[in-house]
A and B are shown apart, each in its own frame.
Chain A
Amino acid sequence: MPEDLRTRSYPVGIAGVALEQLERNVADDEAPPLPPNARLSVIGQSTARLNGPAKVTGRATFTVDVKLPGMLHARMLRSVYPHARILSIDTGAAERQPGVRAIHVIEHPLGRAQELPGPGEPGDAHRRVRYVGDPIAALAAVTPKAAQAALERIVVDYQPLPFVIDLEDARRSDAPRVFDRPVRTEFFLGPAPQLPQHGNVHGPDTSASRGDAAAGLRAAELIVTGEFRTQVQTHCCLEPHALVADWRPEGLTVYISTQFTAGIREELAEAFGLPLNRVRVVVDAVGGGFGSKSRIGNYVLAAVELSRKAGAPVRLALDRHEEQIDSGNRPSTVQRIRLGARRDGTLTAVAIEAYGTAGVALGASVGNFAQSIYECAAFALEQSDVFTHAGPGCAMRAPGNVPGAFAYEQVIDELAERVGLDPLTLRERIDASPLRREQRRIGAERFGWSRRQPPGSSPGTLKRGLGMAQSHWPALIQINSSCEVRILRDGSVEVRSSVQDIGTGITTVLAQVVAEELGLSPQDIAVHIGDTDFPAGPPSYGSRTTASITPPARNAAYRALRLLMEVVAPSLGTTAERLIARGGRIGTLDASRSITFREAAAQLRNDQISAVASRSDDYGGFGRRMGDAAVGRMGLGGVQFAEVTVDTETGRVHVERVVAVHDCGRPMNPRQIESQVHGGILQGISYALFEERILDRHTGHMLNPNLEQYKILGARETPAIEVHVLENYQGNSATDAYGIAEPSIIATAPALANALYNAIGVRLRALPMTPAAVLTALGRVPCGSVPP
């Protein structure tokens, strides 16, 4: 063993089921193994959000609240056509408007697929806009009103072109082309091989396939098939995409509502040719992101450009209409699934053909759900992106796996019915996860699964149904995540990282981690985050924040404490190794001598001691590494049970109750985890029953670009929700903690769909499951008229 490694023993397994000790060789400067939560005083305890009072009293500063002296206000001009060539843009009249300080014409927009220029080909002489809302220009003026008035003076000469917004229409060979040339294939994680492109169809991507699915299907004793459709969902962040850009000779500062301060800094530095030390990105409170605030967009570049031109800070906040049409969305999908199985329910083959549209962007894949969740040696996945003249999709809470699970978990239930097994029994046979086994057991018991009746047997008009579905999500880690812990001479403690709290509560979790290590309480810790002047933290997407930043936070606290103990050990007549911090005191292991933490800090020679730590590799190694990200060896999961009532005369589905059993490694703050799971379930119900972007077939305009006509679940659609979180120890890091944001939404829609089927005996294979869809499925809608 190398000298800097040390063998240590970690608890491994599910608390309350089976806990063992596992020996691992870990670096010497790692904080020692943490016992299970039952033996800790702060971690694992429900702790109220430290920034909760500021939020509920309106004191918290969101980006939209940021006001700088001399700040200008920007607005963006957007295409009113779904497809057009811009012959000319005349900004002269706008420039002469009173109060206008800068105008920026967007020539190379981001956030969409990028065409590969052919050899020796000149670029287009004129820019094309490709969706209603495609940004064309931006300007900054002294008031929002002046900006809006000037915006209306910009004269754009459009040459409208044929367009296609329907997914099926766009697949036809004679459909209007969104892109004339092949586009660069992009994967969220790492490089990808170039895929074929015919017309608007980019793909298929078959890289997730394994084994011989054709042979597996031939060997099957029965085959279950299904075609599923999912709609476009928008993120609907309550705080819009917003920033204040402040370009100065000495550097650029950007206040922005973002999920990744450090990433925005890198992107801005690259876009504007600035060194990293001249770019600072700051965020305090964030009003929702759900994936849509992960990267810079055209609005960010425009605001920075305007600030540079005007020599003044520029504020740009999208309005609700812009949010709905141009801040990303969850792509729609069509999935054709064939399952080959034996009569005992085990799978011989899975074949999925999927296509979907992220409008002018790529990324409509169905994720890794079907390929990862159940055992099957033969798996064939062909997935294609279809371009349409519609606003770009982007990552949205468990991208791919949400539509993927809606389809796959229904097919699995169909298989269970075909082979005469209870849905839980079938999953016992094909799901190797020991976590989900325990989750099914707990969930079934708490939910009362034994009450479930045969499909369609519920009597009367109001039918009751019970269903369940499972969740799978990879455990992602950002390996370049760093955190600093400072102990100041007055005994106060500070945590510093650029990691941002997008409402998920990492502020409080960081305070807990450091408090546990230093023997203090969370309220004693000042958490300073959301600023790239601090060590670079992870993004808050991919459910990776907690897994990435809590181990370095604990290690930094541990190392800072060691330094403090070195200082105070002589005064306690011992050595640092024989000291322990607990209950606000530092003392000897036998508790015979101790001083308060504050007295200890007062002995410092300098004003502070500080330690910075970065995320170490998982002690057991990563499953996969892709750039700055890594995938843990074990996935995250969960099982959700839903009880619904269906009014068979009006088609309305009401969710009465959801029982959710999840895992996220070591649960850090149960109350916050429960809150996250509530959010996932509510967003999942809303996706399953209500939300849908509706585009006008004749003009390509979104017809419900607000929060009135775009339907979202409200208080009265909120069911009783019970959350149970397993403590799952893996001995992988200094905290062994993982995320829960995405696993918590994946199982909801399919659990509702399976419950709906159980209620009415007819399966709905398209989202959202509206009254129109339910009545149509029940054959109650008069012929000749069907919902569009």
Chain B
Amino acid sequence: MNGFEWMSPGSLEQAARAASATVATAMACRSGTPASDAAVLKAGGMDLLDLMKEGLLSPRRLINLRTLPGLDRIEPAGGGLRIGPNVTLAQLAADERLRTRWSALADSAGGAASPQIRQIATLAGNLLQRPRCWYFRSRAHHCVRKGGETCFAFAGENQYHAIFEHNGCAIVHPSTCATALVALGARLEITDRAGAKRTVSLEEFFLLPQADLQRENRLESGEIVTAIELPAQPASVRSVHLRYAQTESFDRPLAEVAVVLDLAEAVCRKAAIVLGACAPVPHRARAAEAALTGQRIDEALARAAAHAALQDAMPLSGNAYKVPIFTAVVRRAILAALVA
């Protein structure tokens, strides 16, 4: 790991002004050796430290957002919730409001990583972490996402890679909370260097490889995610997040599914179904949503919706096994939401 300077900014504005690059831009390079002049923002630092220890990121300066006051609260806002970017996954998992009204988010946060990491990892950091693809994480493989020429996964070892939307790069999006938040219709509040705020729906925030091969989202240098906004949920809405990994202790998921249903009895007025760990962004299963909308949900319909969710899957040489797994997990998530 390289040596670096540590900066504790006095305010958000000071932090934003000090930042010279996002982690994605600081990592991208032609040569394979990342530049060492960037000043990047640090929240929990879980992913950042990993990248630095592996020699994939060599920042000159870390700007610590962690100690800025007021960013670690969950507050009611217009019937919904406003979640500070420094709220930890452990906080989310334990929050009573989330557990009752936005349980998909509480479930996703509670199942991510390990108990130790959940105590430190922040929600914004979770959304902004870089992919776990083993070629991306290997210094020996200068892949497209780091500024190289090739995605090694297509012809290589791709059992944990994408089965959807892998256009030029087969990463799966690493954020478990993003899967739930996209399904819940969350928006991000982003503040720039000048202190101006914009909001963007989380779904539109993430970028597919065809839009940008080297970053997973639209965050620009000097911007800071200052809130995650959850819209109001009518009492008729049920949500779940199911996560399926090879080991349950501390493992990246093979499949995860968030389902949000607005129900009148068992009739579905509206459905949002998002699949994680299957595409470079949280993958919205619109065909499955359409299959449910206006229908009375039962086992057979859930099964049909699950098949619809997977009908466009394009597995790679080594990950077709994920198709039956997702088919089962989508069905189970729909049925679980029904009784949530």
B45 within 8 A of A: no
Question: Contact string, B298-321, partner A, CB cutoff 8 A, digits 1/0?
Answer: 000000000000000001111111
B247 within 8 A of A: yes
B325 near A788: Cβ-Cβ < 8 Å: no
B323 near A781: Cβ-Cβ < 8 Å: yes
Q: Choose from B140, B244, B319 the contact partner of A785 (Cβ within 8 Å).
A: B319
Asked whether A703 and B320 contact (CB < 8 A) given A145-B3, A649-B328, A696-B152, the answer is: no
Q: Choose from B3, B157, B318, B325 the contact partner of A775 (Cβ within 8 Å).
A: B325
Residues on B with beta carbons closer than 8 Å to the beta carbon of A781: 320-321, 323-324
A771 near B141: Cβ-Cβ < 8 Å: no
Residues on A with beta carbons closer than 8 Å to the beta carbon of B135: 696, 703
B329 within 8 A of A: yes
Q: How far is the CB of A772 from chain B (nearest CB, A)?
A: 4
A788 near B157: Cβ-Cβ < 8 Å: yes
A788 near B159: Cβ-Cβ < 8 Å: yes
A218 within 8 A of B: no
B141 near A699: Cβ-Cβ < 8 Å: yes
A400 within 8 A of B: no
Asked whether A782 and B328 contact (CB < 8 A) given A703-B135, A716-B249, A717-B249, the answer is: no
Interface residues on A, range: 35 or more
Q: Choose from A647, A703, A715, A786 the contact partner of B134 (Cβ within 8 Å).
A: A703
Residues on A with beta carbons closer than 8 Å to the beta carbon of B134: 694, 703-704, 709
A716 near B248: Cβ-Cβ < 8 Å: yes
A701 near B249: Cβ-Cβ < 8 Å: no
B141 near A714: Cβ-Cβ < 8 Å: no
Task: State A708–B174 Cα separation when bound (angstroms).
Answer: 14
A701 near B244: Cβ-Cβ < 8 Å: no
A716 near B323: Cβ-Cβ < 8 Å: no
Task: State A319–B305 Cα separation when bound (angstroms).
Answer: 47
Residues on B with beta carbons closer than 8 Å to the beta carbon of A711: 246-247, 251
Q: Choose from A651, A652, A694, A784 the contact partner of B157 (Cβ within 8 Å).
A: A694
A59 within 8 A of B: no
Q: How far is the CB of A557 from chain B (nearest CB, A)?
A: 44
Q: In the complex, which residues 633-656 of chain A have their Cβ closer than 8 Å to any Cβ of chain B?
A: 647, 649-652
B157 near A772: Cβ-Cβ < 8 Å: no
B254 within 8 A of A: yes
Task: State A701–B329 Cα separation when bound (angstroms).
Answer: 33
Q: How far is the CB of A498 from chain B (nearest CB, A)?
A: 36
Residues on A with beta carbons closer than 8 Å to the beta carbon of B155: 698
Q: In the complex, which residues 127-144 of chain B have their Cβ closer than 8 Å to any Cβ of chain A?
A: 132, 134-135, 137-138, 140-141
Residues on A with beta carbons closer than 8 Å to the beta carbon of B248: 714, 716-717
Residues on A with beta carbons closer than 8 Å to the beta carbon of B325: 649-651, 771, 775
A788 near B138: Cβ-Cβ < 8 Å: no
Q: In the complex, which residues 708-729 of chain A have their Cβ closer than 8 Å to any Cβ of chain B?
A: 708-709, 711-717
Residues on B with beta carbons closer than 8 Å to the beta carbon of A80: 140
A782 near B156: Cβ-Cβ < 8 Å: no
Q: How far is the CB of B120 from chain A (nearest CB, A)?
A: 16
Q: How far is the CB of A590 from chain B (nearest CB, A)?
A: 60
B6 within 8 A of A: no
A770 within 8 A of B: yes
List 16 extra interface pairs beyond A649-B327, A772-B159, A785-B320, CB under 8 A.
A145-B3, A650-B255, A689-B246, A690-B246, A696-B135, A696-B141, A698-B152, A701-B140, A703-B138, A713-B249, A717-B247, A771-B246, A776-B321, A785-B318, A785-B319, A786-B318
A sample of 9 cross-chain residue pairs with beta-carbon separation below 8 angstroms, ordered by A number, consists of A649-B328, A650-B244, A771-B246, A782-B315, A782-B320, A785-B321, A786-B320, A787-B319, A788-B317
**Chain A residues proximal to chain B, CB less than 8 Å:** 80, 132, 145, 647, 649-652, 689-690, 694, 696-699, 701, 703-704, 708-709, 711-717, 770-772, 775-776, 780-782, 784-788
A-B complex: 10 closest residue pairs judged by Cβ atoms: A714-B249, A785-B320, A649-B328, A772-B321, A716-B248, A703-B134, A788-B318, A716-B249, A780-B324, A781-B321
